[in-house]
Structure 1
Amino acid sequence: MNRPPSTFVAVFCTKEVVIAAIALVGIGLHLILRFGPGAIDTVLGFPAHAVPLFVALAGGVPLLLGLARHLARREFSADLLAGVSIVTSAVLGEYLAGTLVVLMLSGGQALEAYAVRRASFALEALARRMPSRAHRKQDGAVTEIPLESVAVGDLLVVFPHETCPVDAVVAEGHSTMDESYLTGEPYVLSKVVGSAVLSGAINGNGALTIRAEKTAVDSRYAKIMQVMRESEQRRPALRRLGDQIGAVYTPLAVALALIAWAASGEAQRFLAVLVVATPCPLLIGIPVAIIGSVSLAARRGIIIKDPAVLEKIDTCRTAIFDKTGTLTYGHPELTEVLPGDGFTRDEVLAAVASLERYSRHPLATATIAAAGKTGLKLADAAEVSERPGEGLRGTIGGRAVQVTSRKKLVAQSPTFAATLPPLSGGLECVAQIDGQYGATFRYRDEPRAEGKAFIGHLKPHHGFDRVLLVSGDRESEVRYLAEKVGITEVRAGQSPEQKLALVREETKKAGTVFLGDGINDAPALTAATVGIAFGQGSDVTAEAAGAVILESSLERVDELLHIGKRMRAIALQTAIGGMALSLIGMLLAAGGYLPPVAGAVAQEVIDVGAVLNALRASLTPRVLTDFKTTR
């Protein structure tokens, strides 16, 4: 499995950084050769001081090819002005001016690449934990093989404290595994024969023999890396705001340059206007504002995976929330155990809690905690199975125990329908012991204390027109939460496919923010204008989201909304203010008062001002959120 390059190599050895370095060195050599002592006059008949600039301009050819591809697709963005300026300066022999523009353009693109790479640093660190080899057990012998050679059905040995290489099922042995890197849940789970194990989980003190259920490329870790590679190859719309402004600014600048040329008859004025017009407040200022906001968000425990989130979030007008783990704490508590005939509460609770120790289901923790409060002694399982559609099965103390849903139990044995207690408004599961109805377990996941204030805060303070609650849970449970937090629009019983369809439909009408934390939220997170995931959810969810809130807190969500709004305001100030100054310079250049090189220097001064203003986005404001004051 290919590992990503180190962060240093990925950030500082990109095409854009190399081109910027060549331009910077070229300008430096030019100044030394032209003004330094003992300067060389000519090289192969050319002025010596111009040679470094030839090289620097040649280094900008990849940038021009990229701009040509955009032009072929009829994408007219602000950086096209920079491309026209580079070509014109080369034709007119204004090599220094052209090299300065190459430096500006490549510098802005390098900053953009840096923002993207910084956002994916945590994922790279996670990917580096993946082993490159596995220990295959065959005919009683253990041999080391490349990870790519693992086949479905292979028996593999995972030694103590090693990382599990593929998704598999335990065939022999007993140990524990830390899956917190994958699930976000800070628990160490016991593993016995029949337990499922995930690639990337860290083994405990015991050796395990596992049977591979997926190859390395299909396992959980490989999915993370695949999403990483796709996200790196997909250019995020970092300059979406800049491109929108540039769509108006670019033709205006070109028209003014053509008028200056036609009126004066001097091609130099055409170049001078374009050099001053080069929209570096867009090419550099906006990426700097984005990087600063990404840094500020990271200090607040908010990971911005797609920097375009910061541009889009303030334009969204519909907020859609999943229920469990977002507006609730995601930690349901066991409120009732209703035993069946022939069973006692403690008997069933002890058996089910013993089995739930081997499950990652959200209700498992609540069951184990309830058994612990009661002081019940839990037993080890002889074997465990938790396959989709079958619920959780295992053998506890020689008895067959199954934990599943009411719907699945009735479908499996219709006679149980009359035995089960009536539905309530909360969450539930049912248990079978030796084929007999054992008990119904009822749970309640309470709303977050700040939920009602946060929902009431969205419309007046962030401009949302609609707020929806969407969940796969039953209507009664979803309505209960909606009333508690003040949401009137509810969609209950929604499958992942239905959530996805709903988000797509709402996104067509207006920009959408979707907040979720479960694997079933991943498709909706991807389809939303802005997808926000709580960090306690799954790795798949975090991959699908544009922003990840490491601390499950609605206050952090409010901070993200404010950071995005502030970033957009600073970016607009930087862009419009910088271009207003550029417009003054363009008029001076059109009148012949600014030659190309002087225009390039003037543009650099404007750039410094734009960058300094954009850097404000990285500073923590006195008030980052006004959410607390509304509680």
Structure 2
Amino acid sequence: MEDQASKPATIRPIVDILIAATAAAAIAAHLVLRFVARDAGAVLGVPAPEVPLLLALAGGVPLVFDLVAKLLRLEFSSDLLAGLSIATSVVLGEYLAGTLVVLMLSGGQALEAYAVRRASFALEALARRMPATAHRKRGGQVEDVSLDAVAVGDAVVVFPHETCPVDGVVVEGRSTMNESYLTGEPYLLPKAVGASALSGAVNGEGALTIRAERTAVDSRYAKIMQVMRESEQRRPRLRRLGDRLGAVYTPVAIGIALAAWLASGDASRFLAVLVIATPCPLLIAIPAAIIGSISLAARRGIVIKDPAALEMIDTCRVAIFDKTGTLTYGRPKLAEILPAPGFTRDEVLAAVAGLERYSRHPLAAAVVSEAQAAGLPIEEAEEVGERPGEGLRGLVGGRAIQVTSRAKVASLAPEAAGMLPPLAGGLECVVLIDGRYAATFRFRDEPRAEGRSFVGHLGPRHHLGRILLVSGDREGEVRYLAEKVGITEVYAGQSPEQKLALVRDETSRAGTVFMGDGINDAPALTAATVGIAFGQATDVTAEAADAVIMESSLESVDELLHIGRRMRAIALQSAVGGMALSVVGMLAAAAGLLPPVAGAIAQEVIDVLAVLNALRAAAAPRTLSDFATGPRRDAIGEHGNAAEGPRVRVG
């Protein structure tokens, strides 16, 4: 259901655009009536040139109401001066000056509004992901029912490539399921009778019948939706760059205006000072720098969802990484082969690869790829079979090969149970040759090649003092990755709720950058100061994030950090420089040298200068030395990392 609170946020940008268009049209009509057709409005009973201006000022009433509401909340933002200018211009009859201010205020807001992401989009995407109906099986017949009609104990059929609608246990069929969006595990997990299935997981190529163990409202997916909704509602309101500067600038401008009025006794000087003090460098130049940086980021394969991210990212001091798909590739790789006495690594690998060529198991491709990379001859397999729960078996080179799980070894080859190596993190399979234990294969989701240098780069170049690895994965897998990339502060086995609580706690103390790609990361992405999703992210995650890295590379994250820093520097140059010129103009207006309309025109000149400087943000730098480009290893740098092992906290 659509969040009612989101409706005003959706309508407001349209209102700003309409007000800006009305003000621009009114100014044009005023100039025509005043200088081209002076007598056209004589029959109206009011000076004709003022008619369109009065209409435009009436359209600016919502802006003034909004500013009054801010004032009542004691929020002295940069646009407060604009509201005072509009009100004062009406009282003093300076309608043209007031309309120019309406145009500047609404135009600046409209310029930024089109790029602002609304929180409800993420919840809508999350809701769209789940099916509205389920295929309930009763008495051998399958019928489509609403998701709410599924009760605990009902049999539900999940067809190939469908999303599982409820949490349950497989009672019929064989397939694989992609649960990475929910659990953080990077693998397609095999499903057979007795296996658990999570709502929101995507089924593979085989049909499954699931016995529901929870209703839809109590499912894992529904819990993530609930956490996401609470996270959106409690999202911290960031204090924007323009507001922080305006908090200092506004009292100074009002003080000069009041002093000019009291010293001269002329109320028009009060208006003249306010008009030229209208903080358009804040209202227009900063959004222009942001929009330019959004364009530059897009050309670098980075989609900015929330403009505030560019303002805030350079102020963040804590980086928080999810594991799967961010610091890793999200693809399993054969990391270790532990052969039993009497067998060699290559012998077992070649035999298993010959069998795995005929398997659709998610780990099969990793075995075949490793054998091919080692240049091993892969023999043809015969009598290949893959019975549910027993693993893969067949004949290779006249020998019986069986690939199964540790749990099945005790029943298939009891004497081998005591020969197995200790259980480690990650996925594994056990190989039996002619009924004898031959080897254990261990699989890992390997870290990105640039991971270690990137992590070492974050502190020296981007002032990120703390780097955390937070994952829903098992402790062994998380510890393995942390040691590979040089992260010393690690949280393993974290649920979406725990991730959210951790990110919220860190954000309350310092600015945070969170990077993730799964649905289970969406609440944390929302709670962080800046949330970054990777290109393979779901629509839910992409909507929850403030920025999306399309190429799924850490180098692109580095570019985003540099773009944010450069944008902030250019925005500050434009805003502070424009305000300095405005202060000069205010002093001239206070001395009676600039009447209100002339002050408005002078302010427009200042605006042009500030905006021209802000537009530099859209152009790529003369050199890209500040960005990680090409191979980008040199720009990222090869930094050393702490020698101490990771401190792991298991949730």
Q: TM-score band (shorter)?
A: 0.7 to 0.9
Moved more, 213-222 or 473-482: 213-222
SS of equivalent to 1:446: strand
> Aligned AA for 2:560?
L
Query: Against the structure 1 CA distance between its residues 452 and 285, is the aligned structure 2 distance closer, same or farther, given a 3 Å change threshold?
Result: same
SS of equivalent to 2:74: coil
In 2, Cα distance between equivalents of 1:19 and 1:51: 16
Q: Structure 2: 5+ residue runs without aligned partners?
A: 341-346, 394-402, 639-651
The aligned counterpart of 1:386 is none
Whether 1:427 and 2:433 are equivalent positions in the alignment is no
- Following superposition, the deviation at residue 588 of structure 1 comes to 0.8
CA deviations 1:454-505 (Å, max 9, x no partner) are 22222222122233344455555544444433x3523253423554444344
Query: For the Cα contact (< 8 Å) 2:334–2:366, is it kept in 1?
Result: yes
CA deviations 1:243-284 (Å, max 9, x no partner) are 000000001100100000000101000001001000011111
The aligned counterpart of 1:301 is 301
In 2, Cα distance between equivalents of 1:112 and 1:564: 16
Query: Against the structure 1 CA distance between its residues 95 and 178, is the aligned structure 2 distance closer, same or farther, given a 3 Å change threshold?
Result: farther
> Aligned AA for 1:582?
S
Whether 1:89 and 2:94 are equivalent positions in the alignment is no
The aligned counterpart of 1:49 is 49
Query: Against the structure 1 CA distance between its residues 202 and 619, is the aligned structure 2 distance closer, same or farther, given a 3 Å change threshold?
Result: farther
Q: Give the RMSD, CA atoms, in angstroms.
A: 5.5
Q: How is 1:63-142 mapped onto 2 (pairs within 5 angstroms)?
A: 63-116=63-116
Whether 1:265 and 2:265 are equivalent positions in the alignment is yes
Query: For the Cα contact (< 8 Å) 1:147–1:165, is it kept in 2?
Result: no
Moved more, 133-142 or 42-51: 133-142
> Aligned AA for 2:488?
E
- Following superposition, the deviation at residue 560 of structure 1 comes to 0.6
In 2, Cα distance between equivalents of 1:73 and 1:24: 31
Query: Against the structure 1 CA distance between its residues 453 and 60, is the aligned structure 2 distance closer, same or farther, given a 3 Å change threshold?
Result: same
- Following superposition, the deviation at residue 23 of structure 1 comes to 0.9
CA deviations 1:213-263 (Å, max 9, x no partner) are 9879999799899979997998974x7011000000001100100000000
> Aligned AA for 1:628?
R
Query: For the Cα contact (< 8 Å) 2:19–2:106, is it kept in 1?
Result: yes
In 2, Cα distance between equivalents of 1:269 and 1:141: 83
- Following superposition, the deviation at residue 533 of structure 1 comes to 2.4
> Aligned AA for 2:633?
K
Q: How is 1:211-250 mapped onto 2 (pairs within 5 angstroms)?
A: 237=238, 240-250=240-250
In 2, Cα distance between equivalents of 1:159 and 1:477: 32
Counterpart of 1:625 (choices 613, 624, 627) is: 627
Query: For the Cα contact (< 8 Å) 2:164–2:203, is it kept in 1?
Result: no
The aligned counterpart of 2:616 is 616
Query: For the Cα contact (< 8 Å) 1:158–1:203, is it kept in 2?
Result: no
SS of equivalent to 2:86: helix
> Aligned AA for 1:289?
A
Query: For the Cα contact (< 8 Å) 1:10–1:117, is it kept in 2?
Result: no
The aligned counterpart of 2:489 is 490
Q: How is 1:366-385 mapped onto 2 (pairs within 5 angstroms)?
A: 366=366
Query: For the Cα contact (< 8 Å) 2:228–2:523, is it kept in 1?
Result: no
The aligned counterpart of 2:566 is 566
> Aligned AA for 1:495?
Q
> Aligned AA for 1:625?
F
Query: Against the structure 1 CA distance between its residues 3 and 368, is the aligned structure 2 distance closer, same or farther, given a 3 Å change threshold?
Result: farther
Moved more, 596-605 or 245-254: 596-605
TM normalised by structure 1 equals 0.74
Query: Against the structure 1 CA distance between its residues 172 and 15, is the aligned structure 2 distance closer, same or farther, given a 3 Å change threshold?
Result: farther
Q: How is 1:268-417 mapped onto 2 (pairs within 5 angstroms)?
A: 268-336=268-336, 357=360, 366=366
CA deviations 1:533-555 (Å, max 9, x no partner) are 22224444434432221222111
- State the identity %: 61
In 2, Cα distance between equivalents of 1:159 and 1:422: 38
The aligned counterpart of 1:390 is none
Q: How is 1:177-256 mapped onto 2 (pairs within 5 angstroms)?
A: 237=238, 240-256=240-256
The aligned counterpart of 2:18 is 18
Query: For the Cα contact (< 8 Å) 2:348–2:438, is it kept in 1?
Result: no
Query: For the Cα contact (< 8 Å) 1:430–1:438, is it kept in 2?
Result: no
Query: Against the structure 1 CA distance between its residues 216 and 100, is the aligned structure 2 distance closer, same or farther, given a 3 Å change threshold?
Result: farther
The aligned counterpart of 2:531 is 531
- Following superposition, the deviation at residue 587 of structure 1 comes to 0.8
Count of equivalent residues: 602
Query: For the Cα contact (< 8 Å) 1:195–1:358, is it kept in 2?
Result: no
> Aligned AA for 1:427?
G
The aligned counterpart of 2:398 is none
In 2, Cα distance between equivalents of 1:533 and 1:617: 23
Query: Against the structure 1 CA distance between its residues 253 and 122, is the aligned structure 2 distance closer, same or farther, given a 3 Å change threshold?
Result: same
Query: Against the structure 1 CA distance between its residues 473 and 257, is the aligned structure 2 distance closer, same or farther, given a 3 Å change threshold?
Result: same
The aligned counterpart of 2:458 is 458
In 2, Cα distance between equivalents of 1:517 and 1:51: 55
Whether 1:515 and 2:520 are equivalent positions in the alignment is no
Query: For the Cα contact (< 8 Å) 1:534–1:549, is it kept in 2?
Result: yes
SS of equivalent to 1:116: coil
